[in-house]
Chain A
């Protein structure tokens, strides 16, 4: 029974070698786009935020829209 742990361990170590290959590719700068995703994530909310502001202007709560 315990041997199964060894087998799992060995198979996983082999997979680990693949990981080293993966890391190597990352370190050697082969990620061809390592900039735009960081900018793209900023944009998705713009539309929604304008909706938010419009809404809060239309139905101001007690303190909504107050300059804070």
Chain B
């Protein structure tokens, strides 16, 4: 066999590594800022930096910018070496790198401007969604090109994880991005209400699974054995838990919707698969930790191994907690509280963060042909990071459990013991402690950036690292009696198709019936489409990210029906593109805000939007005074109505032509109503539309009861 000489491309790895460090700092600082906004609401300076707009920026930056670049850094480094081949095309590598950075910059500009789709982790507007699709295809093209021209027959387990990641994220992204544009920046989700919710959490959960978990398991299977210089504990276990993991993960999404208006069978399905998930998840954790069997003494000295051990341990904790949180009885307590915030940060700070840092410390000196500048600083980073995680997570667990207990507490006379506001002000010390933990963690990251900067300065990039390997025999001669599945494992394209099929099964079986079985969405005759003004108001609600703090989904518990009114029904949401059920109650649920005991006057809402704490002492809500100056964009009313009609909302024919007339009528009546409350405001202001929407919420059902 002839030995071929070739070179690994380290420059692209370096670029992604730099981007990882940059966006880690940006994304985490955004997180620190929004956490401080809950302690000091005055930090909501201008509408561009309000909590509702910055929180999506934080989540998107950490997931897609920090972890995304971390994935590509690790994949571009390990894939070349595992395939014994340079990346398929340097041009594609460059397009991938710069395209991804452009997408991140576009996200960082559009989100503070309030351009959002209002779906968690899928907030980015449709032109950016298109760009993501293109760049993702470029990534896949480059990756499969490399795999096809590889010089190593066997596909190491890490590569399988990369393949599964590519395939599933592509499917998830396309399905979730089903949207109907009505201007060149804005669009409505194809799906409405309960279907939108199912698509959202099918996507949302699998974004966790296939963006934050499978690629990182792949990285773990490469970098942990490398750093420890010993083979993974059980290669067989890695094979089994890979297939089990991708098969099970895709079904687990509905556990985000327990006790909501989602059909019960879909909820139960989600629970069952979530519980089963502990086996493949822990398969990965055990495999990672046992790789270090007999080498634990090295963990004491080797800071890189320390990072990795904490990462894998955090993965084990989070994947134990996940199935537990999926149980309906636990979800009844944990949902909408800070418990979930603690849970995801164990995953993000522990698993993704610490593993990325370990990889960076291992990889940067290698591609720069030098040694790490300071082991001591890396150790400091390790302890700051670990303590930061603890100071972050413990107060949040405590806060979540406490707040949930307070929400559910009744007096002996059978009245709710605490107002919602009392439970919010009680949270403030916990929020402050959380910010302290986050600060420690970020300090660690900044120390790492300095340490690696000095490391880079002391070395020189080995842009093209020479390597040699024998060429792969062109034709594979099947040996006698070989098993048929060997054929699959030798062929990346076929493997990709197989993985695609595996992940699609779960998705299709869960989503298709909900679309098709009409009885899943009981039609409530009193539920009417939104008026043009309410629709405009709803879009302002989406734009301002109100769903980041307010749910619109009352669960069938006495503690909730007492506080908020009749529990939510699937049929109430059929005109909601997108659904706005939310996932966190920093503020109270708003599903019945316009009705029953919760009903407040237009004047109350006006004053509350202007200065929330003037109506609710101690409120952490930002001021929305700017809505009193901004005018409703009536030029969009027509396109919005037409888009809604295309999506099946039964407005009358040519309703779009009279929509603005109706809009002004309703706005004027609200404006006149405010005038009787000695508030003078022109009818064409955004706050009027938002008040109209808030006052509409929950009204359909109440009317039918009367």
Contact = CB atoms under 8 A, between A and B. Distances in A.
B702 interface: no
A66 B229 CA distance: 22
Interface stretch (B135-143, B366-374, B589-597): B366-374
Interface of B is mostly: helix
Given A15-B501, A32-B482, A61-B457, 14 more contacts: A5-B508, A5-B515, A16-B502, A23-B243, A32-B483, A37-B154, A38-B225, A41-B222, A44-B82, A44-B467, A47-B467, A52-B369, A68-B372, A68-B375
A16 B248 CA distance: 12
Contacts of A41: 81-82, 156, 222, 225-226, 231
B421 interface: no
Given A12-B505, A51-B466, A56-B369, A38 B232 contact: yes
17 contacts: A2-B515, A9-B509, A15-B501, A23-B243, A23-B247, A26-B243, A31-B236, A38-B225, A38-B235, A38-B238, A40-B152, A41-B81, A42-B230, A44-B467, A55-B369, A55-B462, A56-B459
B509 A13 contact: yes
Nearest to B503: A12
Contacts of B516: 2, 5-6
Contacts of A6: 512, 516
Interface string A24-45: 0111011111110111111011
Interface string A51-65: 110011001011111
Contacts of A8: 504, 508
A64 B225 contact: no
Interface string B480-514: 00110100100000000010011011001101100
* Secondary structure type dominating chain A contacts: helix
Instruction: Tell me which of B156, B232, B369, B482 has the highest count of chain A C-beta atoms within 10 A of its own C-beta.
Output: B369
Interface residues of A, number: 45
A12 B230 CA distance: 39
Contact of B229 (A22, A32, A42, A64): A42
Given A9-B509, A16-B505, A34 B247 contact: no
Contacts of B240: 26-27
Given A42-B229, A45-B226, A26 B457 contact: no
Contacts of A26: 239-240, 243, 485
**Nearest 4 A/B pairs, CB to CB:** A61-B458, A38-B231, A38-B235, A34-B236
B417 interface: no
A20 B220 CA distance: 27
B460 interface: yes
A63 B485 contact: no
A14 to B, nearest CB: 10
B508 A12 contact: yes
Contacts of B460: 55, 59, 61
B195 to A, nearest CB: 12
A16 to B, nearest CB: 5
A40 B226 CA distance: 11
B454 interface: yes
Contacts of A25: 483, 485
A5 B502 CA distance: 16
Nearest to A44: B81
B464 to A, nearest CB: 11
Contacts of A30: 483, 485
B371 A66 contact: yes
B84 interface: yes
Interface in B214-240: 222, 225-226, 229-232, 235-236, 238-240
Nearest to A47: B467
Contact of B374 (A2, A47, A49, A68): A68
Interface in B321-365: none
Nearest to B484: A25
A34 B235 contact: yes
Interface string B42-72: 0000000000000000000000000000000
A56 B466 contact: no
Interface string B239-280: 110011001000000000000000000000000000000000
A68 B302 CA distance: 11
Contacts of A55: 369, 460, 462
Contacts of B457: 61-62
B629 interface: no
A46 B8 CA distance: 14
A30 B509 CA distance: 30
Contacts of A51: 369, 462, 465-466
A22 B372 CA distance: 45
Contact of A62 (B236, B375, B458): B458
Contacts of B243: 19, 22-23, 26
B323 to A, nearest CB: 21
A6 B509 CA distance: 9
Contacts of A32: 482-483
A52 B231 CA distance: 22
A29 B466 CA distance: 38
B239 A34 contact: yes
Contacts of B466: 48, 51
B501 A64 contact: no
A45 B81 contact: yes
Nearest to B366: A52
B190 to A, nearest CB: 13
A34 B123 CA distance: 43
B49 to A, nearest CB: 40
Contacts of B247: 19, 23
Nearest to B78: A41
Interface in B68-86: 81-82, 84
A27 B240 CA distance: 7
Contacts of A39: 231
B467 to A, nearest CB: 6
A63 B222 contact: no
B483 A37 contact: no
A30 B482 CA distance: 10
Nearest to B459: A61
B369 A22 contact: no
Contacts of B482: 32
Contact of A49 (B152, B366, B459): B366
Nearest to B482: A32
A33 B267 CA distance: 40
Contacts of B508: 5, 8-9, 12
B373 A63 contact: yes
B462 A52 contact: yes
B476 to A, nearest CB: 14
A15 B238 CA distance: 23
Nearest to A5: B512
Which residue, of A29, A38, A45, has the highest number of chain B Cβ atoms within 10 A? A38
A56 B370 contact: yes
B177 to A, nearest CB: 18
